[in-house]
């Protein structure tokens, strides 16, 4: 029997992506509730487990249900079977979950069950559900033919767009990438060797044809490339291996999801949220890199606040969650991108300070010149004579006279602090608009 005919006991197959919204969190939640979503809350015994297993900062953010600064989770069941035209296979969509973050981008996942219990069916399933392109067509009993991405936008995201078209540009599409991220856990019916698992991890994680890594044809990776991709693999216990990659997180083993129900729940709920947290950091880094070109000052402030609040180096009292965090983080190149972006922010800060110092020096020169002029008493006498001649009161006359000085002061402040003035003006406009 070849690899592609290996039988599966059970599996977790999820696609993950982002969407953005300028609506307030409660408004967005209410809209999702009206579209069939319900709040998904952890049970008391789960919260006790999280309390004893995870650092408070991470736990309160990721596992604390509806606390002020935690992720809000909503769920909508579908239980619909779709025919994906590209591969001609049927796939069952179980449900969609939406994760509303207190700030930054929001996430959603789609949970699937393959129709079939072989590894080849798993491979075809992940290949179909990962594609964002518009020519990825599906159909079911109610809908004869529709683009997969449009069905998701309409039925799962209540009209929130995630992919740009010729008619409309979607900002989140600038940093979402060309495909969904995948979270895949496969429980094989029989045990295979560590080497065989690594080959299968490559095939599933890279969406390659089953047998590519173990084969020797034009689709097979070179030894160097294979070693590079599997460098971050996690091998803790003898019955499974994990391969975190840039676009996927894949687990393959034996008896990792069954027969005990808590095993599957651990991967679906606890470990999945570690992966979701890393994706939250990564996608927001994509966003910061785009926005820094448009408004460097505001992006710098937002980035520094974001890192101080959400960038956790350690999350658990136990070793495996920290290991998952570390190796997946490495696969996503989060730390290197954080470091490079911080350097970029520092250069922006330095440039701003140098510009402000230059403008300040110019202002000091102007003040020095003015202070070297003769006394302004004669000027005051002339101005006051003009006021008396036209019978203006002190309040009215000097009130009118102060207007050009206020304008000059505003111009000088804007000249010295252009970026801060721009931010202040923007905030004032938003205040009046609201």
Does the pTM surpass 0.85? The reply is: no
* CB-based contact 81:70 (threshold 8 Å): no
* CB-based contact 183:205 (threshold 8 Å): no
What's the CA gap between 160 and 28, in Å, rounded? Answer: 10
Structure tokens at 94: 């179980």
Average pLDDT value over all residues in the chain? 86
pLDDT confidence band for 421 (50 / 70 / 90): low
Range among 157-166, 185-194, 416-425 with highest mean pLDDT value:
185-194
Give the pLDDT confidence of 98-135 residue by residue, as tens digits.
999 998 899 999 999 999 999 999 999 999 999 887 78
What's the CA gap between 282 and 334, in Å, rounded? Answer: 6
Give the pLDDT confidence of 129-187 residue by residue, as tens digits.
998 877 889 998 877 899 999 999 999 998 888 988 888 888 888 887 778 999 999 99
Please name which of 3, 196, 176 lies closest in space to residue 105, comparing C-alpha atoms.
176
The contacts of residue 336 (CB under 8 Å, 6+ apart) are none
Instruction: Phi first, then psi: give them for residue 403, nearest 5 degrees.
Output: -60, -50
Specify the length of the chain in residues: 434
- Reported in sequence order, the residue ranges of 240-342 that DSSP labels E, i.e. its strands, are 240-244, 248-254
Range among 169-173, 223-227, 359-363, 391-395 with highest mean pLDDT value:
223-227
- Between 252 and 394, where is the model more confident? 252
Where are the alpha helices (H) located in 223-292, listed in sequence order? Answer: 223-229, 261-265, 272-291
Give the pLDDT confidence of 77-100 residue by residue, as tens digits.
999 999 999 899 999 999 999 999
Lowest mean pLDDT among 93-102, 191-200, 280-289, 366-375: 366-375
Q: Is the preceding omega at residue 259 within 30 degrees of 0, hence cis?
A: yes
pLDDT confidence band for 1 (50 / 70 / 90): very low
What's the CA gap between 364 and 89, in Å, rounded? Answer: 74
Q: Is the pLDDT of residue 424 over 80?
A: no
């Amino acid at each position: 029997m070849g690899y592609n005919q290996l039988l599966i006991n059970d599996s977790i197959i999820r696609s993950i992506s982002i969407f953005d919204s300028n609506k307030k969190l409660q408004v967005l939640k209410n809209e999702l509730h009206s579209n069939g979503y319900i709040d998904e809350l952890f049970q008391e015994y789960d919260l006790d487990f999280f309390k004893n297993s995870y650092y408070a900062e991470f736990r309160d953010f990721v596992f604390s249900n509806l606390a002020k600064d935690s992720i809000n989770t909503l769920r909508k069941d579908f239980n619909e079977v779709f025919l994906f035209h590209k591969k001609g296979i049927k796939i069952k969509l179980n449900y969609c979950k939406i994760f509303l973050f207190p700030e930054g981008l929001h996430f959603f996942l789609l949970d699937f069950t393959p129709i079939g219990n072989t590894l080849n069916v798993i491979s075809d399933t992940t290949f179909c559900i990962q594609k964002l392109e518009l020519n990825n067509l599906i159909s079911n009993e109610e809908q004869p033919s529709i683009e997969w991405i449009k069905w998701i936008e309409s039925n799962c995201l209540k009209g929130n767009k995630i992919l740009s078209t010729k008619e409309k540009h979607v900002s989140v599409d600038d940093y979402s990438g060309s495909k969904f991220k995948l979270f895949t856990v496969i429980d094989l019916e029989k045990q295979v060797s560590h080497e065989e698992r690594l080959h299968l991890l490559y095939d599933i994680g890279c969406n390659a044809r089953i047998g590519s890594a173990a084969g020797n044809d034009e689709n097979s990776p070179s030894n160097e490339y294979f070693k590079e991709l599997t460098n971050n693999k996690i091998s803790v216990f003898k019955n499974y291996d994990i391969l975190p990659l840039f676009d996927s997180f894949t687990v393959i083993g034996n008896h990792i999801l069954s027969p005990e129900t808590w095993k599957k729940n651990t991967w679906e709920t606890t470990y999945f949220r570690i992966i979701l947290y890393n994706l939250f950091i990564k996608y927001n880094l994509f966003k910061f890199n785009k926005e820094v070109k448009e408004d460097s000052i505001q992006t710098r402030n937002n980035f520094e606040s974001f890192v101080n609040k959400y960038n956790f180096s350690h999350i658990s009292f136990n070793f495996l969650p920290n290991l998952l965090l570390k190796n997946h983080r490495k696969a996503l190149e989060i730390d290197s991108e954080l470091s490079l972006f911080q350097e970029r922010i520092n250069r922006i800060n330095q440039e701003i300070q140098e510009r402000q110092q230059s403008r300040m020096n110019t202002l000091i020169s102007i003040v020095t010149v003015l202070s070297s002029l003769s006394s302004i008493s004669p000027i005051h006498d002339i101005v006051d004579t003009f006021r008396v001649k036209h019978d203006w009161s002190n309040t009215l006359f000097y009130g009118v006279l102060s207007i050009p000085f206020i304008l000059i002061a505003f111009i000088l402040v804007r000249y010295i602090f252009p970026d801060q003035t721009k931010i202040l003006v923007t905030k004032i406009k938003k205040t009046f608009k609201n």
